[in-house]
């Protein structure tokens, strides 16, 4: 993990239990008398997230409805830290204003961005329930986050970025899959990696629009790149997670077509999992 990631040394269960006593119901022992949780249990994963956010980031309240995406906190933190490094290269890492596209009910990126670096956020979401939940998390934890409903699912920046606004960056965790079936197959792979019999449950949750869209991430990010051209003077760095490295060549071609002056792929690593985000700028 990133050198500044608070989670790079694993979970301190004594500290977690002190902030979230309910976690004790979900702790299991593995070989070597080490404590863990059942990562195939969506309730256990959500309680662990709550414990992490309370113990490491000082939240007083965090909760999401059942079957909404429950993001693994350590990996999400890596995206934030890598973004800081990207901004620092242009001396833009201070007094930062960011845009989180598709923040979800969990509001994870604005939480970590503010708690780690004091960043302010505007966060957009197409699901009214997610907007309501994210607003509650922001208000109850005094987070400087404005949560907005994107009423047009075909747009990313339109209706959200006002004519007098500017942002240091935008970020996005796009729906990676092309269908509900493909999303379930991805979950089954997670179960297999955990040496657990596959189930029809999505252990990390997720509404349909959080997990898949027609054309998958390739179509989604391509549309985002094309729309970003209209806001080239209002956002310094546009970024998005990219699940499949096979998508990158097509995205790079699209970036050339829209006239991006700079683009780069930032690689990240969490244990055995490799991840990445693509960044582009018209400056």
Residue 215: predicted pLDDT:
64
Residue closest to 158 by CA, chosen among 128, 126, 127: 126
Half-sphere exposure of 4 (CA within 13 A, CB side): 15
User: pLDDT (tens digit, 9 = 90+) per residue, 19-70?
Assistant: 999 999 999 988 778 899 988 888 999 999 999 999 999 999 999 998 898 9
Residue 197: predicted pLDDT:
52
User: pLDDT (tens digit, 9 = 90+) per residue, 86-102?
Assistant: 999 999 999 999 999 99
Domains of the chain by residue range? 74-281
User: pLDDT (tens digit, 9 = 90+) per residue, 123-156?
Assistant: 999 999 999 999 999 999 999 999 999 999 999 9
Q: Which fold has domain 74-281?
A: Rossmann fold (3.40.50)
104-118 average pLDDT score: 97
Cα–Cα distance measured from residue 256 to residue 254, given in angstroms and rounded to the nearest whole number: 5
The C-alpha torsion from 67 through 207 and 123 to 8, rounded to 10°, is 60
Average pLDDT, the chain: 89
Model confidence at 270: pLDDT above 90: no
User: pLDDT (tens digit, 9 = 90+) per residue, 152-174?
Assistant: 999 999 999 999 999 999 999 99
């Amino acid at each position: 993990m990133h050198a500044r990631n608070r989670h790079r040394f694993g979970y301190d269960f004594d500290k977690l239990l002190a902030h979230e006593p309910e976690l004790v119901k979900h702790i299991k022992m593995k070989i070597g008398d080490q404590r863990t949780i059942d990562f195939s249990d969506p309730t256990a994963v959500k309680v662990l997230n709550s414990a992490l956010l309370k113990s490491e980031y000082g939240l007083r309240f965090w909760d999401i409805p059942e079957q909404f995406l429950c993001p693994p906190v350590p990996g999400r933190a890596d995206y934030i830290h890598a973004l800081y490094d990207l901004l620092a290269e242009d001396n833009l890492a201070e007094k930062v204003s960011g845009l989180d596209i598709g923040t979800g009910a969990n509001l994870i990126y604005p939480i970590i961005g503010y708690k780690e670096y004091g960043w302010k956020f505007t966060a957009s979401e197409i699901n009214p329930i997610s907007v309501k939940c994210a607003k509650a998390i922001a208000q109850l934890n005094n987070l400087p986050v404005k949560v907005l409903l994107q009423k047009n699912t075909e747009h990313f920046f339109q209706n959200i970025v006002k004519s007098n606004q500017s942002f240091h960056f935008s970020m996005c965790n796009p729906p990676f899959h092309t269908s509900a079936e493909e999303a379930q197959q991805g979950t089954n792979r997670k179960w297999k990696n955990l040496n657990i019999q596959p189930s029809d449950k999505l252990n990390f949750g997720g509404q349909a629009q959080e997990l898949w869209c027609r054309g998958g991430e390739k179509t989604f990010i391509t549309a985002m790149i094309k729309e970003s051209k209209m806001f080239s003077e209002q956002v310094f760095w546009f970024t998005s997670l990219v699940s499949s490295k096979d998508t990158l060549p097509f995205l790079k071609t699209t970036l050339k077509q829209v006239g991006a002056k700079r683009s780069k792929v930032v690689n990240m690593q969490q244990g055995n999992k490799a991840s990445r985000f693509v960044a582009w700028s018209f400056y």
